[in-house]
Amino acid sequence: MKRGEESRVILFATQNMHKVEELRAVLGSCGYSVEPVDTPKVEIQSSSLETIAAYAAIIAYNHLGKPVVVEDAGLFIDALKGFPGPYSSYVYRTIGVQGILRLLEGVSERTAYFKSVIAYAGPWGVELFTGIVRGRIAEEARGSQGFGFDPIFVPEGSSKTFAEMSIEEKNLYSHRARAASKLCEWLTERTL
């Protein structure tokens, strides 16, 4: 590794390789590579994705001793008053995609949004970058790509679910790509 190259590597504390690939595609375009790192996962109870991501990033930074990114995301369904929101991971593991479809049976108002918060902790403290994509919950699960609730989320401007899209296409809309573009801008400003 040449001098200076190390600072162009963003460490990402996650075990979700889908998230790593999505971030790689965006950060690659501003000259950064993304490497997953294993850190003890500490997720505090909070109704705010910002608070969850910020705490997790600070703890991961203290553990690693190197700047590190943590990302926390959630699906907010309007007809369910924002549920599952910050509890998306638990809800995905318990009732899953089919459970959400059952909760929305006979419901015509199917609007929802995904929100992503990227927290980047380092000697500067912690910087937060957020991204939102609005869309709707499909009537049935479609597609086999991606992860989580991708098979039932149709972003505004498309008729496909995220699970019917390649990473490049999902990134044209996704909450995570929007948050990652803001991180790109911040990184670029700091290295000018």
Site string for ligand IMP, 140-169 (x = CB under 6 A): ------xxxxx-----------x-------
Q: Is 83 in the site for ligand IMP (CB under 6 A)?
A: no
Whether 72 is a known active-site residue: answer yes
Rank residues 13 and 73 by Cβ distance to ligand IMP and give the closer one. 73
Q: How many residues comprise the chain?
A: 192
User: Does 12 interact with ligand IMP (rule: CB under 6 A)?
Assistant: no
Report if residue 88 touches ligand IMP, rule: CB under 6 A: yes
Query: Is residue 92 within the footprint of ligand IMP (CB under 6 A)?
Result: yes
**Ramachandran assignment for 82, one of left (phi > 0), alpha (psi -120 to 50 degrees), beta (any other):** left
The C-alpha atoms of residue 101 and residue 113 are separated, in whole angstroms, by: 15
Q: At what angle do helices 175-191 and 17-28 cross, to 10 degrees?
A: 50
- Tokens 């907010």 identify what position? 76
Q: Which stretch binds ligand IMP (CB under 6 A): 26-34, 61-69, 70-78, 180-188?
A: 70-78
As a whole number of Å, the CA-based R_g of the chain is: 17
